[in-house]
Amino acid sequence: MNDYPLLDAFLTMLYFFLWVMWFFLLFKIVSDVFRDDGLSGWGKAGWTAFVCLLPFLGVFVYLLARGRGMGERDRKQVREQEQAFRSYVRQAAESAPSAPTTGSELASLAALRDHGDITPAEYEQAKSKVLASH
């Protein structure tokens, strides 16, 4: 009753994987063509036409001719994104007000009590609120 042997199922999955991998590679190359700032408009149009009209040959020739530059452009883009992220985090950390800690709040309350600005009863009430909130 089994009309679809296990080997055929394996080959179907292999073909599907290769098909997905092929499209991934094709999109990666087309995006690399347009990401390259050193390539002229005619060069971009030529590579795109070559990859679209003769896909297998175009992809393999592109990888042989420009594969190393493709990796360098990927690394450059990752470095730029990482620098942008780090500067954003640094800027956000500098501009965000720091939340007071329990210890700093209790220290300021104790200073107010010692200075006579609040009574000991008010100090105890504020202290219990601070401890309850944290």
> Any idea where the domains of the chain sit in the sequence?
1-96, 99-134
Contact 118, 109 (CB under 8 A): yes
Residue 16: band (very low, low, confident or very high) from pLDDT cuts 50, 70, 90: very high
Q: What is the pLDDT of residue 134?
A: 67
The pLDDT tens digits of the residues spanning 110-133 come to: 888 888 888 888 888 888 888 888
Alpha helices (runs of H) in the chain, residue ranges in sequence order: 6-35, 41-53, 55-95, 102-115, 120-133
The pLDDT tens digits of the residues spanning 62-115 come to: 999 998 899 899 999 999 999 999 999 988 888 866 667 778 888 888 888 888
pTM score of the predicted model: 0.57
